[in-house]
Amino acid sequence: MAIAEDNLTSTAPPAPLAAPIRRLLDTVRQRIRRYLWAEGLAAIVAFLLAAFWLTLVFDWFFEPPVLVRVALLVIVGGGAGWVGFHLLFDRLRVALTDRSLALLLERKFPLLGDSLLTAVEFAAPDSAATPSERQMVSAAAAEALTRVDDLDLDQLFNPAPLVRNVLAAVALGISALGFALFDAEAVETWARRVLTFSNDPWPRKTRLVIEGFEGGSIKVARGSDVELTVKADTAMRVPQSVRVQYRSAEGLRGRATMVQRGKAVPGRDPYQSFTHSFQGILAPLTFDVIGGDDRHRGLRIEVVDSPTVTGLTLHCEYPAYMRREPRDIAVTGAMQIPRGTKVRVQFTTNKPMTELTIADGSSAPDPAGDQQASKATAIRPAAGESPREFTYDLGMLTADRTLLISLLDTDNIRNREPNRLTIGAVADEVPQLEVRLRGIGSAITPQAQLPIIGAMKDDYGIARTWFEFAVEGQEPVVQDLARAPRATTELPVDEAFDVRLRGLNPGQKATLTLKAQDTFELPELTGAGGKSSAPAGPQTGASSPFQLDIVTGEELRSLLEARELNLRRRFEQLLGEVAESRDSLARLRPRPTPAPGEAGAVAPPAEADDAAEAPDDAPASPEVLAERALVRDRLRVEQILQNSRKNADETLGVAVAFDDIHDELVNNRVDTEELKSRLKQGIADPLRQLATAGFSQLEQRLTELQQGLPDAQARETTLAASEAQLDAMLSEMQLVLSKMLELETFNEVVDLLRSIIDSQEGLNEKTKDSRKAKLRELLE
């Protein structure tokens, strides 16, 4: 028994492969490598021959410069290297092991039944097998030996790629060889130009001569016509037609056939002429002339620009009150410069000039009322100065100026139209004030404070700000505000004017105005007749005046109570609209449908409506009725959404209005803690929270409902959430309404207090009268 176990567990060294199997594997390996060499070399040869034809045709047609030919050769070399690497080197470096070859044979020839792969694997040097396994391997090897002679190794190879590459290489090679035998001179020219980068031209059978283009280009004036004349040598082949292909600097391209002039006779006429006219050339033009096998490329018509001003800069020295450093401003059109600025114009031209003439005039009468006469000034470059840069001093700008600039260049060409420069003198604006009263209406009490908010702006700085308070029939009272930094051009306003110290009485009328003064300051410029040209001192701007009526505290409260009553009515209307949205939402729930035949059995509302729309002779199907109901429900939810957005805006408006009432009570100093708490914490704040958060959540719920309508479960969930949100909002709105209704109870208490006060005053008067009567009796 122990001997048997040793036979099972002991291992024997691997046995070598049988000679037929070894020969088979070596044969497959050699054939694969020969196939790869043949396919790769054929592809490289085909690529190089194709490159020969492409470079030959390209060079013959275009005759490119050396750099282009070098680039072509580099591209061809790189392409050949890429083909060789991917089709030859990259494949040949793959190791073809016995196991890989056996696996290939097993896959291609299933009749081997894994016997070849088994024999190869157990013949590997690193394999070991027990005697029992060795017997199995020997059996597999024997089986493989009986079948290897029947294998057709040609089936391992796909001949199509090899045949394709070989045929391509043979076809291209035959064509190249035939061309070399037919036109050896062309091949030699190709070799010199492409391989050795020679500049020898290709031999031609036609010779074209371009008149006037001996240097390859001519110069013409912009906008002129150019007559192009091409002559064909009659001693050589005269082409049937000559073509011109052109391209402008703007990228415009075109081609045309030149017009043949007459019919030249060889031996009598040396040339045959062809012409073409370029009309109105506005930009440089590059063109090629092609006739027969001759061509002239890269001919150019240069356009000479008319003299013009290419750069205009204004050197500005601003008035002192503007606190600006001198600066240079590039002209980009009609320029706006502050009045009182000293301006010097700097010109740059596109070419050297011999003279620059400036017609300087004002487009309007000067500020002093005198018409400014136009004058012309000629400027010539001095020795040592650039003939392309000029300067003209305008002096202090007091009115709009227009300069007409005429140029004369070194070619004695003037610009067709003078260059125009318009400079507008911008007057300093008065300060602009955009302010409003905050928490104050048109009626105030004698002890009120008047908060005012907003902003004031000025071009270059605000020097002073103040309140001006005027009571009807009295001199205005001025109250200065804190002085702003001198360089401030925009100043926020959040100030308050206290009227308690003004001794106001109910029934009076007052006006409050906020004013600001800028830093404007210019020396007076005097024209003919002694008229001043500009203000000499600062300018004052004022806000819109606020008209105020002085009333008693009771009168103000009455006015505010009337406003609150209107707001309550407006809020009750909002509450009703939200309740209608809640009812409309409830209609989305399906009503229970009694069984057919029962008393009172009617169709659900949706189906009833849809059934009413269907003709009697063509009842709608359940699917159609369901689709119609879904469309109607979506429209209903959309309407509720629109109503909620409108209600949110209106609710926020009511909250803001109650905030204003609260602020008016506080600013007029007729408030109480209980009243402020009711208006602010009881009404305004809850309404603001409702408008921002409550309606936002409702909109989210309704959007989810709209998306979940087609699904019954999602519809029920989102509908319940929307109804709960609306119920919570209605409860909150009812609480706010109850706070609003407290005004009636409060007013009753106020009326009672007023009646008690009136009764007390009447009793006091009667007591005084009684005492006076008793005193008279005693005196008598």
pLDDT at res. 524 = 64
Residue that wins the pLDDT comparison between 106 and 603:
106
Q: How many helices (H) and strands (E) does the chain have?
A: 16, 27
Local structure of residue 12 (DSSP, 8 states): B
Tokens of 719: 């509908």
For residue 8 the two structure tokens come to 């099972």
Q: Taking CA 621 as the corner, what is the angle to CA 619 and CA 622, rounded to the nearest 5 degrees?
A: 130
Non-local (6+) Cβ contacts of 467 within 8 A are 478, 479, 481, 495, 497, 512, 513, 514, 515
pLDDT at 154: 66
Residue 162 has pLDDT above 50, yes or no: yes
Least confident of 373-382, 419-428, 707-716: 373-382
Taking the C-alpha atoms of residue 670 and residue 449, their distance in angstroms, rounded to an integer, is 11
**Which tens digit of pLDDT belongs to each residue from 288-340?**
888 887 778 788 888 877 788 888 999 999 888 888 899 999 998 889 989 88
Smallest CA-to-CA distance from 226 within 167, 285, 270, 177 is with 285
> pLDDT-derived band of residue 52, with 50, 70 and 90 as boundaries?
confident
* pLDDT at 211 exceeding the cut of 60: yes
Q: Which residue has the higher pLDDT, 611 or 671?
A: 671
Q: What are phi and psi for residue 495, nearest 5 degrees? A: -125, 170
d(Cα 563, Cα 702) in Å, to the nearest integer?
Answer: 34
Q: CB of 115 within 8 A of CB of 136?
A: no
**Confidence band for 608, pLDDT divided at 50, 70 and 90:** very low
In 10 A of CB 178, how many CB atoms?
10
Q: What is the full DSSP assignment across 528-547? A: GGG-B-S--S--EEEPPPEE
Stronger pLDDT, 412 or 510, i.e. the higher one: 510
Sheet holding 285-291, edge to edge: 217-221, 294-304, 285-291, 242-248, 253-257
Average pLDDT (495-512) is 89
> What is the average pLDDT score of the chain?
80
Contact yes or no for 506/551 (Cβ under 8 A):
yes
CA separation for the pair 379, 354 (Å, rounded): 9
Least confident of 199-203, 444-448, 686-690: 199-203
What pLDDT is attached to residue 599? 44
- Residue 297, beta-bridge partner list: none
The pLDDT, as a whole number, for residue 390 is 87
Each residue's pLDDT tens digit, 14-48: 556 667 777 777 777 787 888 778 888 888 888 88
pLDDT above 60: residue 407: yes
Here the contacts of 472-475 (C-beta below 8 Å, separation 24 or greater) are 472/508, 472/509, 472/510
C-alpha radius of gyration, the chain, whole number: 52
The CA-atom distances, in angstroms, between 509 and each of 223, 573, 623 are 76, 36, 74
Q: Quick one: tokens of 438? A: 């905050």
Distance in angstroms (rounded) separating the CA atoms of residues 709 and 703:
10
* Sheet of strand 490-498: strand arrangement: 432-437, 449-457, 490-498
Provide the angle, in degrees to the nearest 10, between the axes of the packed helices 115-122 and 98-108: 170
Q: Find the mean pLDDT for residues 150-178.
A: 78
Q: Which amino acid is at 7?
A: N
Average pLDDT over residues 252-277: 88
pLDDT band for position 365 (cuts 50, 70, 90): very low
CB 41 within 8 A of CB 165: no
Kindly state the tokens that stand for 591: 């009503």
Band (548; pLDDT cuts 50, 70, 90)? very high
> Mean per-residue pLDDT for 346-370?
72
Amino acid identity of 500? R
The rounded distance, in Å, linking the Cα atoms of 480 and 311 is 49
Q: Is 326 helix (H, G, I), strand (E, B) or coil?
A: coil
Residues whose CB is less than 8 angstroms from the CB of residue 28 and which lie 6 or more positions away in sequence, other chains included: 101, 104, 105, 153, 156
Name the 3-class secondary structure at 29: helix
pLDDT at position 315, please? 93
DSSP 41-98: HHHHHHHHHHHHHHHHHHHHHH---HHHHHHHHHHHHHHHHHHHIIIIIHHHTS---H
Which helix (H) or strand (E) covers residue 694, if one does? none
Q: Are 232 and 291 in contact (CB under 8 A)?
A: yes
DSSP string, 145-198: HHHHTT--GGGG--HHHHHHHHHHHHHHHHHHHHHHHH-HHHHHHHIIIIIS--
> Distance between CA atoms of 360 and 362, rounded to whole angstroms?
7
Residue 67 token pair = 């750099």
Inter-residue contact 165 to 42 (CB < 8 Å):
yes
Amino acid identity at 297: R
Average pLDDT over residues 573-581: 90
Place 56 in a pLDDT band, splitting at 50, 70 and 90. Answer: confident
First vs last C-alpha separation in the chain: 165
The helix or strand, by DSSP H or E, that contains position 514, with its residue range, turns out to be strand 509-518
Under DSSP, the state recorded for 680 is I
CA distance 627 to 634: 11
Whether pTM exceeds 0.85: no
Give how far the C-alpha of residue 360 lies from the chain's centroid of Cα atoms, to the nearest Å. Answer: 44
pLDDT of 701 > 50? The answer is yes
Q: What is the largest CA-CA distance in the chain?
A: 170
Percentage of the chain exceeding pLDDT 90: 16
User: CA 60 to CA 295: how far, in whole Å?
Assistant: 10
Token digits of residue 337: 């410069």
Query: Of the given ranges (114-123, 317-326, 568-577, 643-652), which has the lowest mean pLDDT?
Result: 114-123
pLDDT at 368 over 50: no
Structure tokens at 406: 């005429």
Shortest CA distance to 143 belongs to which of 123, 162, 116? 116
Q: Which range has the worst mean pLDDT, 40-54, 92-106, 521-535?
A: 521-535
Judged against a pLDDT cut of 90, whether residue 343 lies above it is answered with yes
- Exposed, middle or buried: residue 599 (CB in 10 Å: 0-12, 13-18, 19+)? exposed
**The CA-based dihedral angle spanning residues 313, 318, 324, 329, taken in that order and rounded to the nearest 10 degrees:** -10
Query: How many other C-beta atoms can be found within 10 angstroms of the C-beta atom of residue 575?
Result: 18
The percent of residues above 70 in pLDDT, for the chain, comes to: 79
User: What is the helix (H) or strand (E) element at residue 652, kind and residue range?
Assistant: helix 622-667
Burial of 485 (0-12, 13-18, 19+ CB in 10 A): exposed
Strand 449-457 relative to strand 217-221, pairing: unpaired
Residue 594 tokens, joined: 């009694």
- For residues 82-108, give the mean pLDDT: 74
- Judged by average pLDDT, the poorest of 58-67, 77-86, 100-109, 603-612 is 603-612
Rounded Cα gap, residues 651 and 648, in angstroms: 5
Closest-CA residue to 92 (of 39, 49, 142): 39
Span 457-469, mean pLDDT?
A: 88
Collect contacts of 7-13 with beta carbons under 8 A, ≥24 apart: 7/130, 7/131, 7/132, 8/130, 8/131, 8/132, 9/130, 10/130, 10/131, 11/128, 11/129, 11/130, 12/128, 12/129, 12/130, 12/131, 12/134, 13/128
The DSSP bridge pattern shows strands 335-338 and 342-349 to be unpaired
Reported as half-sphere exposure (CB side, CA atoms, 13 A), residue 573 has a value of 11
Q: How confident is the model at residue 164 (pLDDT cuts 50, 70, 90)?
A: confident
- To which residue do tokens 């006037």 refer? 212
At 600 the pLDDT is 43
